[in-house]
Amino acid sequence: MSIKAIVFDAYGTLYDTQSVADVTEEAFPGYGEIITQVWRIKQLEYSWLRSLMQRYADFSIVTRDSLAYTLRTLGLTYEGAAFDAIIDKYLHLDLYDDALAALTAMQDRSLAILSNGSPEMLNALVKNSGLDRLLAATISVDANKVFKPAPSAYALIESTLHVRPAEVLFVSSNPWDACGAKAFGLNVAWIERVTPEAMALACVESTVLAPLTFFKAIRTQMDALGLAPDHRIRSLSELPGLLAQT
């Protein structure tokens, strides 16, 4: 069966969550990298915990709560203006360099985003980056009040785009997201931006792991969940060629 729709994860797949580092470093000199990594780890953890506890709050709240946790844990005091400036970066995250060209090259298919982000966050981000003119839909899990990788989050693809799971290629650089989509029954392309070989080398180069290296070790390598993506690619730029074979 041919692929009719390509659905992308947003954070970490189309948009570089590491691009907040300049803002965190400006607000808290010397702490920018550790803030960026702990914040992202807690942001994901809070989304999963809230889903498991059935105490949903939209991603804007999760994002603020996880940043507050991070600053408090690191013993950093802050004013509201500094906090809001960091949060605002999530509405202006940098696109990966190959994102715009890749999506432009695939306009013969229906393109969409499925993200944990709240509608307000996603709509602003997509508009600010110019992807609004290329996407058929920007789907937020907020419609079902549960975060990925819950199956009902991925079910929003079919109900929104009216395509069956077998007709969808889901694209994510987040291993947990790739596994969740595969478990649901979608075709999955995982973007492996950091190879195991590169990861191993980074870990042995120093006796003390830098925060970014630690983050990559726990969040960028394929999880051992008994699931595997259908395709492993290194960048978004490989997608048009991959789809030409379907």
pLDDT per position as a tens digit, 67-88 = 999 999 999 999 899 999 999 9
| pLDDT tens sequence across 94-150 | 999 999 999 999 999 999 999 999 999 999 999 999 999 999 999 999 999 999 999
Query: Final residue of a domain: which of 39, 58, 91?
Result: 91
pLDDT at 196: 84
* 242, 6, 174, 46: CA torsion to nearest 10: 180
Phi, psi of 168, deg, nearest 5: -115, 135
Number of domains comprising the chain: 2
pLDDT at 197: 86
pLDDT at 7: 98
Whether residue 230 lies in the annotated active site: no
Q: Which of 9, 58, 142, 177 is catalytic?
A: 9
| pLDDT tens sequence across 224-239 | 999 999 999 999 999 9
Q: What is the pTM of this model?
A: 0.94
E runs forming strands in the chain: 5-8, 15-16, 94-95, 110-115, 137-140, 168-172, 187-191, 231-233
Residue whose C-alpha is closest to residue 235's, from 48, 99, 70: 99
Same domain, 78 and 123: no
Q: CA–CA separation, 134 vs 145, rounded Å?
A: 26
Query: Final residue of a domain: which of 67, 91, 115?
Result: 91
Q: Are strands 15-16 and 94-95 parallel, antiparallel or unpaired?
A: antiparallel
Residue 10 sits in which domain range? 5-16+93-243
Query: Final residue of a domain: which of 58, 91, 124?
Result: 91
Q: What letter represents residue 51's amino acid?
A: S
Helix (H, G, I), strand (E, B) or coil at 212: helix
Q: What CATH number should be reported for the domain holding residue 230? A: 3.40.50.1000
Higher-scoring residue by pLDDT: 143, 217: 143
